[in-house]
Amino acid sequence: MASAVFEAMEDGSQADVRVLPGITAMLAAAARLGAPLGHDFCAINLSDNLKPWEVIETRLRLAVRADFALAFYNPRSASRPHGFARVLEVLREEGGTDRLISFARAAPTPDERLLTVTLGEARPEMADMRTMVIVGSSATRRVGTYVYTPRSVR
């Protein structure tokens, strides 16, 4: 959230800011799933509150074409439930239906729920605002109960 504080300071106001590193929801979810972000990846905030939907969709298409693993923040809210359905459509258009997609809800808390399916099986209601969604690259696969993206490119 440091970015939001600095943005607010652009009006000339001063604040004593100290930025501390932490574990992001994306990294916590990835660790609970295995290592789905083990190679090149990108994070995309799916909220269109601060940027137009067209920007989100362009970034999404380009990231899938570049074969990144993807981590999505703010996938589906009560005020915009339609957006994540469109995300799934774009993912299938650009990457097919066989890629793995993981839903890590409330990781790592006692309410945690982890689910990995293919894009063909994914449904919008599998995500809410407490869910980190991680989509694998074309190389991402399962080993036992874990999902991982190999570090080598073939």
**What would the pLDDT profile of 109-139 be if each residue is shown by its tens digit?**
999 999 999 999 999 999 999 999 999 999 9
Question: What is residue 3's predicted lDDT score, i.e. its pLDDT?
Answer: 87
The yes-or-no verdict on residue 153 having pLDDT over 80 is no
The H or E element spanning position 93 is helix 82-95
| Whole-number Å distance between alpha carbons of 142 and 150 | 10
Which one, of 81, 72, 57, lies nearest residue 132 by Cα?
72
Phi, psi for 98 (deg, rounded to 5): -90, -15
Query: What pLDDT is stored for residue 12 in this prediction?
Result: 84
Give the whole-angstrom CA distance, residue 56 versus residue 154: 29
pLDDT score recorded for residue 151: 92
Query: Are 113 and 29 contacting, i.e. CB atoms less than 8 angstroms apart?
Result: no
pLDDT at 42: 97
CA dihedral 21, 26, 28, 30 (to 10 degrees): -130
pLDDT value at position 86? 94
Surface-to-core class of residue 112, CB atoms within 10 Å of its CB (0-12 exposed, 13-18 middle, 19+ buried): middle
Provide DSSP, 35-87.
ETTSSSEEEEE---SSS-HHHHHHHHHHHHHTT-EEEEES--BTTBTHHHHHH
Q: Which residue segments constitute the domains of the chain, with CATH numbers given? A: 23-148 (3.30.950.10)
- pLDDT band at 79; cut points 50, 70, 90: confident
84-95 pLDDT tens trace: 999 999 999 999
What is the DSSP pairing of strand 141-143 with strand 146-148? antiparallel
Q: Report, as an integer, the average pLDDT of 56-80.
A: 93
